[in-house]
Structure 1
Amino acid sequence: MNGVVHPGNGRTAYHFQPAKYWQNDPNGPLYHNGLYHFFYQYNPHGPTWDVGKLSWGHSVSGDLVNWAALENALDPTAPFDANGCWSGSATVLPGGRPAILYTGIDADKVQVQNVAFAKDPSDPLLREWEKPSCNPVIPIPADVTGNNFRDPTEAWRGRDGLWRVGVVAEVNGVGSLLVYRSADFLRWERNAAPLHASSQDVPVLECPDLFPVTAASGASEGLETSASGAGLRHVLKLTDFAKEDHYMVGLYDDAADTFTPAEPERGDDPGNWRRFDHGHLYASKSFYDARKKRRVLWAWVDETDGGGVGRGWAGIQAFPRAMWLDGDGKRLVQWPVEEIETLRRNRVGGVEWVTEVEAGGRKEIAGIVSSQADVDVVFEVPNLEEAETLDPKWLVDPRGLCAEKGASVHGGVGPFGLLVMASGGDLEEHTAVFFRVFRHLDTYKVLMCTDLTKSSRKEGVLKTSYGAFLDVDVEKNKFISLRTLVS
């Protein structure tokens, strides 16, 4: 069965974006005094990335869906951030005062770590932030090469009462995650050994995250970032220079500040670890939502056409996702936060659609006329006899397989899926999200692909394919479900 969705055009509807200009990395999301706060890298002067003009944009929400924009939280106004307020994280200190740790590009264009505090913690909007004169609180170390020293994590407290923060750095040419400790959030001392060090082939890492997850089978509750003790594991996430977010589940020891991976066979290079997403997604940042007791992930979907000079804006944030540890203890499960359901409360324009499509055919899902859609589809796969045999070389390159066997290439079982944002009757422009099923040894492999080769008529846009093999027992279940958020 192939479905065609025509949701219209225009700005995104429920994916976060400011009213105008450039945005990139999500920064310092937190829940405080009844409101969600979202900060993000923002150029308040235009729709392009400008290293020396980056600020922290700031918006608030009561439900993670509807957002109100505020004045910037941080602007480059001091010698220690004169050339930009780069990425970082937010932490609520004892007594309820929020603090921001962020990378500043100083007057000499050196990357340093700074702190800012909410001026009035009782203000539910946290509209004003102050930067103490003791900044930078963590200057660049002498052994850092390439001026690569940035992106502090959310801070957490060890059982000794000291704060910890992780900062990625190129240490003598090796991509590393350094750990610093502090008793007062102002004076920080570096731990002798890094929490992670990659091989010489990975000199630069970005946007780290370290957070605990409940290890009990079936548990979906999140944990506060400083949680420790039996019955939990930690997730270490790093972004590599290919702009892909990778993570590893493991055990974190807060006495030695060491991390032991659950899958050591995947090696030290994050490019071989598991991924949050196999699409166009970058620089993710998670936070603990105390209101709903869940771990929520934000991530930036960056530009592929050189920025938004013509339209006046660039970049969106993927819709926030709740995350928890799967029963195997090695991978994360994620799902859009439940608040998205409020957007279809009255089912205005809702469509319930059941059909059968002949092999090679397609049918339009009629009735979707707005610029946004939340599409749940279940594809029945009753017969696997015609499944092609998988060439083992593709096991390590599912993206390449998606590119070679695109949405228009007929296969044994598949492709079947959706053609989203499809133009008129000619389908000259569309994005294909589809599946194929292959026979491999004595089982079946399900390949999921996103094909952007016809996503735009515009020249200069990156039109690539993404793909991954899914852990789905299609032989047993006889169906595959797909949820697609179009905005």
Structure 2
Amino acid sequence: MYFNGIYHLFYQYNPKGAVWGNIVWAHSVSTDMINWEALDPAIYPTKPFDINGCWSGSATILPGNKPVILYTGIDTQNRQVQNYAIPANYSDPYLREWVKPDNNPLVVPGEGMNASAFRDPTTAWRGKDGQWRILVGSKRKHRGMAFLYRSKDFVNWVQARHPLHSSANTGMWECPDFYPVSLNGKNGLDTSLVGENIKHVLKVSLDLTRYEYYTVGTYFPHKDRYVPDSTSNDGWSGLRYDYGNYYASKSFFDAGKDRRILWGWANESDTAQDDKDKGWAGIQTIPRMVWLDRNRKQLVQWPIKELETLRGKKVQISNQQVRKGEHIEVKGITAAQADVEVTFLLPSLDNAEKFDPSWVNAQDVCGQKGSNIEGGVGPFGLLTLSSKHLEEYTPVFFRVFKAPNKHVVLLCSDARSSSLKKSGLYKPSFAGFVDVDLADGKLSLRSLIDHSVVESFGAGGKTCTTSRVYPKLAVFNNAHLYAFNNGTETVTVESLNAWSMKNAQLK
């Protein structure tokens, strides 16, 4: 949340180890979301209503500039119940201490509900009737549910007769998020805003797939129902914020800069023992600004501007052709810790491979057609975290296919060749399709490379992928970065800007 000029990040944390358990709400503060200071945990198990764990939730800023946290506690009966906490001292700019009043819990699972599948309350929004509303993620058999609760005073909550939304055969809905987006421009909106020129977004984290899905649709305040647009698939094949290692995300309205900020979590792809050995597990990805694309069918994401304060030495490449089989090294930067923006120019699309309409899963297509399998237009892109002789590398690349009435663009981040370590690593080929017009023959890519993570943004942030990788050779000064092309059609690096990135300050 943003409160009085300070960003507060609360996150699930085990103070006793690097694997899941003993969960508390850790607390860090920042003025720019890049450099952080860690404080003592804000919430930890102390009361009967949360003695077995303080799980995820949200923050809401109430009238009078009063922040309140809603969170899921695991009570003495191991039920998931919804609690609240408030600052002990509103004049403390860091809000170090939080109090859990004795009138908790505020919301308990109703009769017939699954008390072990009832969690992660959302940021609240206030209707024109003055009532507050929240969602709680749940499931009924195999149907994912976003239960709706209303309150006049933020203390006494009543369940609505109908969920805000549900979807068959999607399983447990974790970490729901519901917020408005503007039809015009990139500005974010306060969570309570309704009216004309607004769409709404409902995001859920699916426990069964460990991926996140969202729809763009219409919220009907008088009915308290949400209906996805016909262009949003309401299920497992739907839109995703990120087609890689990205889960349990949360957005908030940054009132200081009128933008909506999206936070995501990238867990490890190595073993629990590896995590114990290094003493930590899981990272937050770079905060992203999020807004509605001009086509009104999907969201667009882009790393926050503040990240650019870490940029150091810069190198550039302009108008350089990359022929089939060529690798052009980007020299002069710290390739293990870099920010790279590149625009590729595609002289011709005539030789694009034919698209098979049965290819509905982008990840499967990427798995079949990796970065080394020759295509017509592509694969071309970046080889990140690469060793000098390409024994290991993480390619982030495009491939263009020809469908009857359009071209289909695939963005891949393929970890299969990322490490020489043979066992104990999950090395998937992540991928998503990119809804982009190739009329100008250009495709852009931005990759944030940081030792064990590669976050990539295709076509200005229309499709994003995050990979966790663990090279053995391509580490520190032994990491290299290349632009490459393994397609028969020559592509041109119209412009490439790459920066060495300095370390953020973490206190």
The TM-score, its normalising length taken from structure 1, stands at: 0.89
Secondary structure of 1:310's counterpart equals: helix
1:461 partner letter: L
1:443 partner letter: K
Deviation, structure 1 residue 273: 2.4
Instruction: Please report the RMSD computed on the Cα atoms of aligned residues, expressed in angstroms.
Output: 1.4
- Preserved contact between residue 146 and residue 170 of structure 1 (Cα < 8 Å): no
Match of 1:274 in 2: 239
Comparing 275-284 with 454-463, greater Cα deviation is found at 454-463
State yes or no: 1:32 paired with 2:3: yes
Deviations 1:294-313 (A, max 9, x none): 00000001122133111111
CA distance in 2, matches of 1:377, 1:224: 34
State yes or no: 1:314 paired with 2:281: yes
Map residues 35-434 of structure 1 onto 2, 5 A cutoff.
35-50=6-21, 53-145=22-114, 147-171=116-140, 173-199=142-168, 201-216=169-184, 219-240=185-206, 241-263=208-230, 266-267=233-234, 269=235, 271-307=236-272, 308-344=275-311, 348-354=312-318, 355-369=320-334, 371-394=336-359, 396-423=360-387, 425-434=388-397
2:204 partner letter: L
Deviations 1:310-363 (A, max 9, x none): 11111111101111111222211111111111112xxx3211123322211112
Secondary structure of 1:319's counterpart equals: coil
Deviations 1:6-36 (A, max 9, x none): xxxxxxxxxxxxxxxxxxxxxxxx1101111
Secondary structure of 2:308's counterpart equals: helix
Distance 1:60 1:236, change over 3 A: same
CA distance in 2, matches of 1:228, 1:250: 13
- Preserved contact between residue 408 and residue 433 of structure 2 (Cα < 8 Å): yes
CA distance in 1, matches of 2:135, 2:327: 50
CA distance in 1, matches of 2:37, 2:349: 50
- Preserved contact between residue 295 and residue 324 of structure 1 (Cα < 8 Å): yes
Distance 1:159 1:48, change over 3 A: same
Deviations 1:57-101 (A, max 9, x none): 111111111111111011111111111100000011111111000
Comparing 65-74 with 134-143, greater Cα deviation is found at 134-143
- Preserved contact between residue 168 and residue 207 of structure 1 (Cα < 8 Å): yes
Deviation, structure 1 residue 109: 1.5
CA distance in 1, matches of 2:145, 2:63: 29
- Preserved contact between residue 158 and residue 255 of structure 1 (Cα < 8 Å): no
- The gaps in structure 2 that reach 5 residues or longer are 451-507
Deviations 1:31-70 (A, max 9, x none): 10111111100001111111xx100111111111111111
1:205 partner letter: W
Deviation, structure 1 residue 265: 6.9
1:378 partner letter: T
Deviation, structure 1 residue 247: 0.9
Comparing 241-250 with 150-159, greater Cα deviation is found at 241-250
CA distance in 2, matches of 1:370, 1:448: 21
Secondary structure of 1:145's counterpart equals: coil
CA distance in 2, matches of 1:407, 1:273: 25
- Preserved contact between residue 109 and residue 115 of structure 2 (Cα < 8 Å): no
CA distance in 1, matches of 2:141, 2:437: 46
The TM-score, its normalising length taken from structure 2, stands at: 0.85
Deviation, structure 1 residue 472: 2.0
Match of 2:496 in 1: none
CA distance in 2, matches of 1:75, 1:143: 29
Distance 1:132 1:272, change over 3 A: same
2:105 partner letter: P
Secondary structure of 2:307's counterpart equals: helix
CA distance in 2, matches of 1:104, 1:134: 14
1:257 partner letter: D
Distance 1:265 1:156, change over 3 A: closer
Secondary structure of 1:400's counterpart equals: helix
Matched residues, number: 445
**Higher RCO (CA 8 Å, separation ≥ 6 residues):** 1
Secondary structure of 1:192's counterpart equals: coil
Match of 2:492 in 1: none
CA distance in 2, matches of 1:253, 1:126: 36
CA distance in 1, matches of 2:31, 2:246: 25
CA distance in 2, matches of 1:171, 1:385: 50
Deviation, structure 1 residue 172: 5.1
Match of 1:17 in 2: none
Secondary structure of 2:122's counterpart equals: coil
Deviations 1:377-409 (A, max 9, x none): 111210222211111111x12211100010111
- Preserved contact between residue 248 and residue 263 of structure 1 (Cα < 8 Å): no
CA distance in 2, matches of 1:405, 1:203: 31
CA distance in 2, matches of 1:445, 1:176: 33
